[in-house]
Amino acid sequence: MEMLQGVMEFQKNLAKDHAQVVPISVFVAVLCLCVVVGHLLEENRWVNESITAIILGCLAGGVILAVSKGNSSHILTFNEELFFIYLLPPIIFNAGFQVKKKQFFQNFLTIMLFGVVGVFISASIITSGSWWLFPKVGFAGLNARDYLAIGTIFSSTDTVCTLQVLHQDETPLLYSLVFGEGVVNDATSVVLFNAIQKIDVTRLSALTPLNVIRDFLYLFLTSTALGITSGLLTALVLKTLCFGRHSTIREITLMVLMAYLSYMLAELFELSGILTVFFCGILMSHYAWHNVTYSARITTRQVQENNIGHATKFLIVKKHVFAMMSFIAETFIFLYVGMDALDIEKWKMSKLNMGTSLGICSTLILLISVARAAFVFPLSAFSNYMNRAHSERGSKITFKHMIIIWWAGLMRGAVSIALAFEQFTFYGVTSDPINATMITTTIIVVLFSTVVFGLLTTPLINYLLPHPTTANDIIRERRYDDAREDMTLPLLSLEESAATNILRAKESLSMLMEMPVYTIHSYWRKFDDAYMRPFFSGPRPVSEHSPA
Residues 39-98 that bind a second copy (CB under 8 A): 39-40, 42, 81, 85
> Which of residues 153 and 252 has its CB atom nearest to a second copy in the complex?
252
> Which of residues 323 and 444 has its CB atom nearest to a second copy in the complex?
323
Q: In this chain, which stretch among 318-326, 341-349, 383-391, 506-514 interacts with a second copy, using CB under 8 A?
A: 318-326
Q: In this chain, which stretch among 28-36, 172-180, 208-216, 377-385 interacts with a second copy, using CB under 8 A?
A: 28-36
Residues 429-488 that bind a second copy (CB under 8 A): 479-480, 482-484, 486-487
Q: In this chain, which stretch among 308-316, 351-359, 367-375, 452-460 interacts with a second copy, using CB under 8 A?
A: 308-316
137, 360 Cβ separation under 8 angstroms = yes
Choice from 225, 321, 374, 444 touching a second copy (CB under 8 A)? 321
Q: How far is the CB of 9 from a second copy (least distance, A)?
A: 9
The C-alpha atoms of residue 411 and residue 161 are separated, in whole angstroms, by 8
Q: How far is the CB of 147 from a second copy (least distance, A)?
A: 16
The 8 Å CB, 24+ separation contacts for 102-107 are: 102/496, 103/172, 103/173, 103/175, 103/176, 104/176, 104/179, 104/180, 104/282, 105/521, 105/524, 106/176, 106/515, 106/517, 106/518, 106/521, 107/173, 107/176, 107/177, 107/180, 107/395
Q: In this chain, which stretch among 21-29, 125-133, 207-215, 521-529 interacts with a second copy, using CB under 8 A?
A: 21-29
> In the 3-class helix/strand/coil scheme, how is 85-113 assigned residue by residue?
HHHHHHHHHHHHHHCCHHHHHHCHHHHHH
Q: How far is the CB of 53 from a second copy (least distance, A)?
A: 13
> Which of residues 222 and 384 has its CB atom nearest to a second copy in the complex?
222
Q: How far is the CB of 162 from a second copy (least distance, A)?
A: 20
Q: How far is the CB of 330 from a second copy (least distance, A)?
A: 11
Contacts of 186 (CB under 8 A, 6+ apart): 92, 156, 157, 274, 415
90, 414 Cβ separation under 8 angstroms = no
Choice from 136, 214, 310, 348 touching a second copy (CB under 8 A)? 310
- Compute CA 449 distance to the chain's CA centroid, rounded to the nearest angstrom: 17
Torsion angle defined by CA atoms of residues 491, 492, 496 and 500, in that order, rounded to the nearest 10 degrees:
70
Tell me phi and psi for residue 426, to 5 degrees: -115, 105
532 DSSP assignment: I
Contacts of 64 (CB under 8 A, 6+ apart): 26, 72, 73, 74, 75, 339
Q: Is 313 in the site for a second copy (CB under 8 A)?
A: yes
The C-alpha atoms of residue 418 and residue 321 are separated, in whole angstroms, by 25
Q: How far is the CB of 499 from a second copy (least distance, A)?
A: 23
Choice from 63, 133, 228, 323 touching a second copy (CB under 8 A)? 323
The C-alpha atoms of residue 540 and residue 167 are separated, in whole angstroms, by 34
Q: Is 328 in the site for a second copy (CB under 8 A)?
A: yes
Q: 10 Å Cβ neighbour count for 270?
A: 11
Taking each helix axis from N to C terminus, what angle separates 471-497 and 289-303, rounded to the nearest 10 degrees?
Answer: 80
Q: Is 320 in the site for a second copy (CB under 8 A)?
A: yes
Size of the site for a second copy (CB under 8 A): 78
The C-alpha atoms of residue 73 and residue 65 are separated, in whole angstroms, by 4
Choice from 108, 314, 377, 524 touching a second copy (CB under 8 A)? 314
Q: What is the DSSP string of 149-196?
A: HHHHHTT----HHHHHHS-TTT-HHHHHHHHHHHHHHHHHHHHHHHHH
177, 114 Cβ separation under 8 angstroms = yes
Question: Does the CA dihedral 121-123-124-128 come out positive or negative?
Answer: positive
> Which of residues 121 and 275 has its CB atom nearest to a second copy in the complex?
275
> Which of residues 205 and 353 has its CB atom nearest to a second copy in the complex?
205
Q: How far is the CB of 331 from a second copy (least distance, A)?
A: 8
Residues 486-505 that bind a second copy (CB under 8 A): 486-487
Q: Is 17 in the site for a second copy (CB under 8 A)?
A: yes
Choice from 8, 11, 32, 144 touching a second copy (CB under 8 A)? 32
Q: How far is the CB of 510 from a second copy (least distance, A)?
A: 23
> Which of residues 246 and 401 has its CB atom nearest to a second copy in the complex?
246
Contacts of 508 (CB under 8 A, 6+ apart): 172
Choice from 60, 150, 252, 274 touching a second copy (CB under 8 A)? 252
Q: 10 Å Cβ neighbour count for 488?
A: 15
Amino acid at 306: N
> Which of residues 42 and 345 has its CB atom nearest to a second copy in the complex?
42
Choice from 136, 214, 250, 388 touching a second copy (CB under 8 A)? 250
Choice from 8, 11, 13, 520 touching a second copy (CB under 8 A)? 13
3-class SS of residue 167: coil
Q: In this chain, which stretch among 7-15, 107-115, 386-394, 412-420 interacts with a second copy, using CB under 8 A?
A: 7-15
Q: How far is the CB of 268 from a second copy (least distance, A)?
A: 5
The C-alpha atoms of residue 116 and residue 186 are separated, in whole angstroms, by 10
Mark residues 266-305: x for contact with a second copy by CB under 8 A, - for none: -xx-x----------------------------xx-xxx-
3-class SS of residue 160: helix
Q: How far is the CB of 111 from a second copy (least distance, A)?
A: 26
> Which of residues 85 and 109 has its CB atom nearest to a second copy in the complex?
85
Q: How far is the CB of 264 from a second copy (least distance, A)?
A: 4
Q: How far is the CB of 534 from a second copy (least distance, A)?
A: 23
Mark residues 193-212: x for contact with a second copy by CB under 8 A, - for none: ----xx-xxx----------
CA nearest neighbour of 75 among 12, 11, 14, 29: 29
